Amino acid sequence: MHPTPPQIAGMNYPQPTPITVALGDGIGPEIMTETLRMLAAAGAALVPEFIEVGEAQYLAGHSSGIGPEAWDSLRRTGILLKAPITTPLGGGYKSLNVTLRKTLGLYANVRPTRSLAPAVATKHPVLDVVIVRENEEDLYAGIEHQHTPDVVQCLKIITRSGCERIARYAFEYARTNGRRRITCMTKDNIMKLTDGLFHRVFDEVGREYPDIAQEHQIIDIGAARLADTPERYDVVLTLNLYGDIISDIVAQIAGSVGLAGSSNIGQGGALFEAIHGSAPDIAGQDVANPSGLLQAAVLMLRHIGQPVVADRLHNAWLRTLEDGLHTADIFRVGQSREKVGTRAFADAVIARLGQLPELLAQPVAAVAPIAPAPTVPAPAAPAAQRPPVVQTLVGIDVFLRWADGTPDLLGQQLTALSGRNVRLKLITNRGVKVYPDGHPETTCTDHWRCRFVAATAQPGPPPTYPELVFDALLDLQQRLSAAGLQIVKTENLYLFDGERGFSLGQGE
């Protein structure tokens, strides 16, 4: 893209930045074409390389919707502006977005949302929230298994290094962008190890940023308050799944999910996209709203160091919305002035380049000071460089598929098979203790977690967990298997520097 930049006194034009562009599926090509036209008219210095990702690539046999040439371009530019894509129905396809995020290490998903009242109708005229969502871990690691006919599982993977990276990113983002407060949201009252680690690391990293106010809320009440009184929030930091949900909520209550863009940032690159999908129901009709993708492009311009062009575009866009030129999705009789199509909306934005919004409290550059590219903190020290941690094997959870009777019957059989070195401590079903001393009312599935510890372990308080050798646990599994029991999975139980690295069963 080599536009003739408008001549503005005092403006220094940056060197053109190579970017990779994916036109996407459905409404993707229409909204991308118009977004590129608006970028060019605003004077963005970009050299786009076009790649094909999405439906055609899926159907050509690339299970993640992306082929080798596209990866070459992404490695060259490190920046992707992507229109939404269609994921074909049916099994066997992996999410392109998750693949891109994880392969390129885009660990931070940043979604700034601000109310556009009175230009766009909203119940929350005072809303200016940035969601910083961890982007690579959590249940989105995509590790799922079926263990028995009745039971499937999805692993929630959280790493200390991942928590450190995203917490540091959030604090650096807040500092760089003049934000004053970070609210961390987790569910650590239930998931004490995984969400608990995220919360703990937030507190640890937060000590290095005393200038930023910090608080923690449980995600359920946090999400409810965010939807009810968004004006009390500034930056919200959370895990992958919660972030996915609350960022759509915030975008919707600000006016429409169709208006929001998002950035995915990592050490080795960045991806910018609208948060909506490919809207096949309105594809090819010149009715789609290009605003979400335009907002993504504005975030990209700030990231690559073209903030002046970003502000020009953003202000022209706000002025267009203020002037009541609305695409069908946000058109309201009595509030909007004219219903416009995708192309006419882009024309209207281009015609307003250089103008500032008048109804909105302040133009963008004044409320969001021109920010340099958000600092991308260096990765946390590799495990090998951290202080050594003593990891002690103290037991095993053996998961069985079993449907031959009551929990007491299974308990007695396992006790008899335990041997000299280990003993059965308890059996849980869906996390609830059913042996010993279970409740007959508890509903049991065909999936039993049987916890074995050293024969000399003491119940406490506090419980003690003597060390076991791995061979003792292998011998145990051989005895169980030889007795005809079906082991579907095992988890070793460890202490880390003497601290329990496994959760207790409910009722344990």
Which residues here bind ligand NAD, judged by CB under 6 A? 27, 84-87, 97, 258, 273, 276-282, 288-289, 292, 329
Q: How far is the CB of 236 from ligand NAD (least distance, A)?
A: 21
Report CA-CA distances (Å) from 42 to 13, 69, 299, 341.
12, 30, 14, 20
**How far apart are CB 26 and ligand NAD at their closest, in Å?**
6
Short-list 18, 31, 17, CA closest to 273? 31
Structure tokens at 96: 């392109």
Identity of the residue, 222 or 258, whose beta carbon is nearer to ligand NAD in the bound complex: 258
Residue 417 CB, nearest approach to ligand NAD (Å)? 48
CB of 31 to ligand NAD, least distance (A): 6
Q: Give 53 or 184: the residue with its C-beta nearer to ligand NAD.
A: 53
Q: Least distance from C-beta 195 to ligand NAD, angstroms? A: 26
Q: Where are the alpha helices (DSSP H) in 229-339?
A: 240-254, 291-303, 307-322
Task: Output 159 or 295, the one with its CB closest to ligand NAD.
Answer: 295
DSSP string, 75-94: HHH-EEEE---PPPSSSSPP
Closest CB 168 distance from ligand NAD, rounded Å: 26
List the one residue out of 214, 209, 210, 236 whose CA is nearest residue 223. Answer: 236
| Nearer to ligand NAD among residue 99 and residue 161 (C-beta) | 99
Distance CA 161, CA 169 (A): 12
Q: 108 near 169, Cβ under 8 Å? A: yes
- Which residue's beta carbon is nearest to the bound ligand NAD? 277
294 closest CA partner among 278, 323, 263, 273: 273
Q: Ramachandran region of residue 244, left (φ > 0), alpha (ψ -120 to 50) or beta?
A: alpha
Shortest distance in whole angstroms from residue 396 CB to ligand NAD: 40
> In terms of CB distance, is 222 or 292 closer to ligand NAD?
292
Helix%, strand%, coil% for the chain, nearest 5: 35, 25, 40
Please, which residue, 17 or 342, has the CB nearer to ligand NAD?
A: 342
| 244 or 397: CB nearest ligand NAD | 244
